[in-house]
Amino acid sequence: MKGVFISIEGIEGTGKSTQAGLLAEHLRGQGLPVVQTLEPGGTPIGLKIRELLLSLESAGMDSVVELLLYNASRVQHIREVIIPALGRGAVVITDRFSDSTVAYQGFGRGIDLKLIDSLDAIGTNRLRPDLTILLDIDVETGLMRNRHINKRDRLELEDVRFHEEVRKGFLRIAAGEPDRIRIVDCSTGVEEVHRRISVLADDFIKRSGR
């Protein structure tokens, strides 16, 4: 595959979507073809799955059903959007990918990491981002930011302890893959975070020679 696959990850309130948009704009400004997308979602089917997953009406959803639905959205996303775009040589920027499943369903919900890994092997065929930007912030600040913009979906309503486990999960995954995952502290302003992400992405794209 000729393209470059970048994911942006993090707990609630880290400003991932804003940063994904700014990075897309930055790379387009250099003349690169960019596809900006998100999970769950990224396709019409994925958006329906997203609605089902995040709706407050899904309060009774079993955690294994949740895991399967995130994977289902991802498989559709990979086949319909990500692989074709990488094949055309685009830079794909996704707001969340499989690290979110390990962090939320694995570390947050406590589902066996081996089960998550086996599903990942089937669903993604081990497709991994070339570069992952992990936006990090303390849980209270992140949740507070989302409350200010009135963002309240099913997972955001989980208690602080759940989100602490998710954050620890992300940091653990990052510690195990320091070459792929770069942590960016996002307690600074939007512009500074964007500057740091752009440097990481520019360096990566230059080094990879794509």
Residue pair 167/134 in contact by the 8 Å Cβ criterion: no
CB 184, min distance to ligand TMP, A: 16
Site string for ligand TMP, 39-58 (x = CB under 6 A): xx------------------
Asked whether position 70 contacts ligand TMP by CB under 6 A, the answer is: yes
Distance, in Å, from the CA atom of 143 to the CA atom of 13, rounded to the nearest integer, reads 6
Asked whether position 104 contacts ligand TMP by CB under 6 A, the answer is: yes
In DSSP notation, 27-73 reads HHTTT--EEEEESS-SSHHHHHHHHHHH-GGGTT--HHHHHHHHHHH
Extended strands (E) in 131-209: 131-136, 181-185
Asked whether position 96 contacts ligand TMP by CB under 6 A, the answer is: yes
For residue 175, what are the contacts with CB-CB under 8 A and spacing of at least 6?
A: none
Residue span binding ligand TMP (CB under 6 A) among the ranges 92-100, 132-140, 170-178, 185-193:
92-100
The two structure tokens encoding residue 208: 């990879």
CB 192, min distance to ligand TMP, A: 21
Asked whether position 77 contacts ligand TMP by CB under 6 A, the answer is: no
Distance, in Å, from the CA atom of 38 to the CA atom of 60, rounded to the nearest integer, reads 25
Asked whether position 123 contacts ligand TMP by CB under 6 A, the answer is: no
**CB closer to ligand TMP, 18 vs 195:** 18
Q: Which residues bind to ligand TMP, rule: CB under 6 A?
A: 12, 39-40, 70, 95-96, 100-101, 104-105, 155
